[in-house]
Structure 1
Amino acid sequence: MMRTRPLKVALLGCGVVGSEVARIMTTHSADLAARIGAPVELAGVAVRRPDRVRAGIDPALVTTDATALVKRGDIDVVVEVIGGIEPARTLITTAFEHGASVVSANKALIAQDGAALHAAADANEKDLYYEAAVAGAIPLIRPLRESLAGDKVNRVLGIVNGTTNFILDAMDTTGAGYQEALDEATALGYAEADPTADVEGFDAAAKAAILAGIAFHTRVRLDDVHREGMTEVTAADFASAKEMGCTIKLLAICERAADGGSVTARVHPAMIPLSHPLAGVRGAYNAVFVESDAAGQLMFYGPGAGGAPTASAVLGDLVAVCRNRLGGGRGPGESAYAALPVSPMGDVVTRYHISLDVADKPGVLAQVATVFAEHGVSIDTVRQSGKDGEASLVVVTHRASDAALGGTVEALRKLDTVRGVASIMRVEGE
């Protein structure tokens, strides 16, 4: 039987995502009540600009005092979609202390302070859910945390930022340069006026930290994630990728070491074969490839951002938390029992594509090959072209550690015959 007293929800933030959460709560109220077993009621909405017109929201619910809202004591669930570190962190912990569970879409905060937030939730016997923090509408955290809880996840490889994927896809399919593709993404609303968080990999790094922590049952903070942006990717890189039967994506890669004793998490541009499922992810879509012992290879695909898709994930969490509330139980909390060390980027082993500007004269290739050999980096293929005293040398390696490759490149730059290292790109997904 359905309980008649509604569960009360406080909404922190009413921007693109928050307004969609409020809309869905209103338009789908009967369905939500049936699925939960009790009505859900929007009891308050905290905003910074109260005078703005918000369609479908009773102005009497709007307040600028978020702290007072989460302290009310009659709130069952707080939905936090304001983003950033503060005041979100304080508001969430205050909500726990005053009896509310929390649903958040705040990737930066979860990546930086997830352990402390989980501890606060545990201390107050409340739920902390954050499906919307990683890949918009794509169910990903719950499958990793629950559906694969009996399996051993070894690798998570994914496109987790729609803005960067749109830009790189445009460069690949139209031949546009980086700035031209960025301008198009901005005009279409895929990129912010300041796209730094996206194009420099900060957004993807936060998501990688969250995914690695859940997949490997280990605390992985944002500072543990190696991060490289994609602003230096050029049309020449795409041309080289095509010659290898590859394309270029900004990837979040979380891996367990072969011996199982450590993990790594990194974000950077990489070449991947056109045969890989991630190569066909177009536009602003996201996709994550998960590899585990028993389940094998799984792929999750869909819209990774936007008001309605992100609100879908928020509402899914809201239903789960409300069900827990009614049943007197809690959902899964933090699982960090493995406590595996996070290895530095230098320990990562992969293949590399290196493009060198060299003098066009006899002996250059031999000198370059010698440097690679001296640093223990095996060459797979070499492609050389040039005229009028200048040449381009493209080297693709076998698998080597990042530290070995770094030493190789440093030594190459000291050769008189090497005029510059034009590009270094990792090759993944093989």
Structure 2
Amino acid sequence: MGSGIGIGLLGLGTVGGGVASILQSPSERHPLVADLKLVRVAVRDLNRPRSVELPNEILTTDPAVVVNDPAVDVVVEVIGGIEPARSLILQAIAAGKSVVTANKAVIARHGEEIADAATKAGVYVLIEAAVGGGIPIIEPLKQSLGGNRINRVSGIINGTTNYILTRMAEEGAAYESVLKDAQELGYAEADPAADVDGLDAADKIAILANLAFGGSVERSAVPTAGISQLQGRDVDYAKQLGYGVKLLAVAERMKPSGEPLPLSLRVQPTLVPNDHPLAGVNGVNNAILVEGDPIGRVMFYGPGAGAGPTASAVVADILNIAGISQATQGDDRLDPLLAASSWRRCVLVDRGEIRQRHYVRFHTQDAPGVIGRIGGCFGDGGVSIQSIVQFNASKAGAEIVVITHEVSQKKMDDALQSIQALPEVSGLAAHLGCL
């Protein structure tokens, strides 16, 4: 790369427009921003109105033109989705160009393939914007915390669901009503499934696990539950018991460690104690808690989405490539995406081996001895109970809420099966995780 670094942009939507805006206004930013030249931009429609004005001659509807332009040194992919994004990233790498991407779906599923290609081609692939929007978490995991034995990474990494859950907790609003508001405000898509079903968070925790534990994990094997079935009464009961409800993504090292390294990953609505660092993360904000040895606990907090935060992370990655390239001209030492995946194998443990605390709510008859029989089933199954509370007792029945101590998922499932067979229990109404 010379003094001017050619940037090719794939996509000019919300994030792409934010990136272009930064590159077109370098004044009072890092001095290197002035060296970044936006030379090619791929768009879907040349005639569509845009938030940022660009010369017509740099626009194209063919992304291959951007990837193959010899004036482009770094390809920025912000079109989203699996294809053609994956193929374009690999084409750019094959053409000897470094890549910056915000695409968590591609990296979660094809990160190892992309990393291998980048290593062989001697280029960089940086992904800071793929997780946590403007929160710097990828580089800290790879570098600043690299000397630690990471034991657990957990977090609130989807702003849409966090906004919905915050409104439900603070206002007692119904899920459907808050979701509609979120869509009108632009926090949720017209089809919100990726967010509310936990799929977006699962992509992100798979990426964080890759980096934290030095090996790739199978994205499709991550147990995932969203908030679309969550009822307001469970948010209310949790509040009465001293908890908030968050859609939590968790990746943790299992004991004993071995080769391949056993990991437990999950995404699910989870009760978070009011004194926990993640409890105060509200609205569209994200937070990621890293726990390791010897660092202890470190939390990264900030805006998790939007044009500004995500574009900030994208440009930071471009500057990282530009700065390193200028400092190491002729040096082949690289730190490509997920470089550590080549030295450790990781495996996700069976769902039944996952250990955590649980919140469960049962519909039951309002009859003497019901709580005792439920407690007995838990005890017989080896499940220790922290608390058991009856709510809303009436002639129509009662609701019994149980919070357990940490237990394996298999023991919990077996105990729940026994409880649901009791004649006094009419159903399992809710089942959430609990910190």
Q: Deviations over 1:23-42 (max 9, x none)?
A: 1011016745x337x72211
Alignment of 1:324-339 (within 5 A): 324-326=324-326, 327-328=328-329, 329=331, 330-333=334-337, 334-336=339-341, 337-339=343-345
The answer for the alignment partner of 1:280 in structure 2 is 280
1:206 and 2:211 matched? no
How far apart are residue 232 of structure 1 and its match? Answer: 1.6
Distance 1:424 1:211 in 2: 26
Q: Deviations over 1:188-247 (max 9, x none)?
A: 111111111000000000000000110011211321311001112222112211122111
The answer for the alignment partner of 1:22 in structure 2 is 20
Distance 2:113 2:275 in 1: 41
Distance 1:319 1:5 in 2: 13
The answer for the alignment partner of 1:414 in structure 2 is 421
Task: Give 5+ residue unaligned stretches, structure 2.
Answer: none
2:163 aligned partner, one-letter code: F
The answer for the alignment partner of 1:166 in structure 2 is 163
Distance 1:356 1:196 in 2: 27
2:9 aligned partner, one-letter code: L
Q: Deviations over 1:74-118 (max 9, x none)?
A: 321000000111111111111111121000000000000000001
Alignment of 1:150-189 (within 5 A): 150-189=147-186
Alignment of 1:337-348 (within 5 A): 337-348=343-354
The answer for the alignment partner of 2:252 in structure 1 is 255
Distance 1:196 1:265 in 2: 20
Q: Does the 8 Å CA contact 2:12/2:42 hold for their aligned counterparts? A: yes
Could you tell me which of 368, 372, 382 is aligned with 1:362? 368
How far apart are residue 10 of structure 1 and its match? Answer: 0.4
How far apart are residue 5 of structure 1 and its match? Answer: 4.1
Distance 1:213 1:29 in 2: 37
How far apart are residue 397 of structure 1 and its match? Answer: 1.3
3-state SS in 2 of match to 1:227: coil
Q: Give identity over the alignment, percent.
A: 41
Distance 1:31 1:105 in 2: 21
The answer for the alignment partner of 1:228 in structure 2 is 225
3-state SS in 2 of match to 1:422: strand
Distance 1:274 1:423 in 2: 20
Distance 1:202 1:108 in 2: 9
Task: Give 5+ residue unaligned stretches, structure 1.
Answer: none
How far apart are residue 4 of structure 1 and its match? Answer: 6.5
Distance 1:275 1:380 in 2: 17
Query: 339-348 or 127-136, which moves further after superposition?
Result: 339-348
1:105 and 2:102 matched? yes
2:268 aligned partner, one-letter code: H
The answer for the alignment partner of 2:129 in structure 1 is 132
Distance 1:253 1:126 in 2: 31
The answer for the alignment partner of 2:317 in structure 1 is 317
The answer for the alignment partner of 1:394 in structure 2 is 401
Q: Does the 8 Å CA contact 1:377/1:400 hold for their aligned counterparts? A: yes
Question: 1:4/1:148 Cα in 2 relative to 1: closer, same or farther (>3 Å)?
Answer: closer
1:370 aligned partner, one-letter code: G
How far apart are residue 340 of structure 1 and its match? Answer: 2.6
Distance 1:305 1:241 in 2: 27
Given the two structures, how large is their TM-score scaled by the length of structure 1? Answer: 0.95
Could you tell me which of 96, 104, 119 is aligned with 2:116? 119
How far apart are residue 389 of structure 1 and its match? Answer: 5.4
Question: 1:220/1:4 Cα in 2 relative to 1: closer, same or farther (>3 Å)?
Answer: closer
1:296 and 2:326 matched? no
The answer for the alignment partner of 1:423 in structure 2 is 430
Distance 2:363 2:141 in 1: 44
Q: Does the 8 Å CA contact 2:5/2:73 hold for their aligned counterparts? A: yes
Distance 1:387 1:9 in 2: 67
Distance 2:432 2:90 in 1: 42
Question: 1:394/1:222 Cα in 2 relative to 1: closer, same or farther (>3 Å)?
Answer: same
Q: Does the 8 Å CA contact 1:152/1:293 hold for their aligned counterparts? A: yes
Distance 1:383 1:215 in 2: 38
How far apart are residue 331 of structure 1 and its match? Answer: 3.1
Question: 1:390/1:6 Cα in 2 relative to 1: closer, same or farther (>3 Å)?
Answer: same
2:421 aligned partner, one-letter code: K
Q: Does the 8 Å CA contact 2:217/2:346 hold for their aligned counterparts? A: no
Distance 2:80 2:395 in 1: 55
2:317 aligned partner, one-letter code: D
Q: Does the 8 Å CA contact 1:413/1:419 hold for their aligned counterparts? A: yes
Q: Does the 8 Å CA contact 2:364/2:397 hold for their aligned counterparts? A: yes
1:303 aligned partner, one-letter code: P
How far apart are residue 51 of structure 1 and its match? Answer: 1.3
Distance 1:318 1:335 in 2: 21
Alignment of 1:45-64 (within 5 A): 45-54=41-50, 55-64=52-61
Question: 1:143/1:198 Cα in 2 relative to 1: closer, same or farther (>3 Å)?
Answer: same
- CA RMSD for the aligned pairs? 1.6
The answer for the alignment partner of 1:74 in structure 2 is 71
Q: Deviations over 1:228-270 (max 9, x none)?
A: 0111222211221112211100011110113233111111000
Distance 1:120 1:340 in 2: 20
Query: 10-19 or 71-80, which moves further after superposition?
Result: 71-80
